[in-house]
Amino acid sequence: MAPRQRTHLVQHLLEEALLMQGVLEEAMAAKHAEGKQAEESPHITDDEPHPTPASTVQEAQASWEKIWRGLTEIQTELEQIAHAKQHRRERLTSSA
């Protein structure tokens, strides 16, 4: 894979991770609002669907945050590789 393709792929994945974090933050806010409503109206019946626990949403959000941090590190490493490669080219060109 070409360096530009790698960089583009990592950038795309970073954007996706940020998007997912935002979606999950909204879901956590909605869960919080649901919890407040449930406290105010304790008329829950057995036929109502069981909502996804807030802890599951928080775990997913934490996982996407880890992914984002890892991808950020990968992006930094790819940039360092590109700079080193450019530096080698400049040295070779100037010594020729």
What average pLDDT score do residues 89-95 get? 88
pLDDT at 32: 82
Q: Is residue 57 packed enough to be buried (19+ CB in 10 Å), middle (13-18) or exposed (0-12)? A: buried
pTM of the model: 0.73
pLDDT at 51: 63
Q: What is the pLDDT of residues 22-72, one digit of tens each?
A: 999 999 898 888 877 766 766 655 666 666 677 888 999 999 999 999 999
pLDDT at 87: 93
Q: What is the pLDDT of residues 66-86, one digit of tens each?
A: 999 999 999 999 999 999 999
Q: Is the dihedral of CA 70, 71, 72, 76 positive or negative?
A: positive
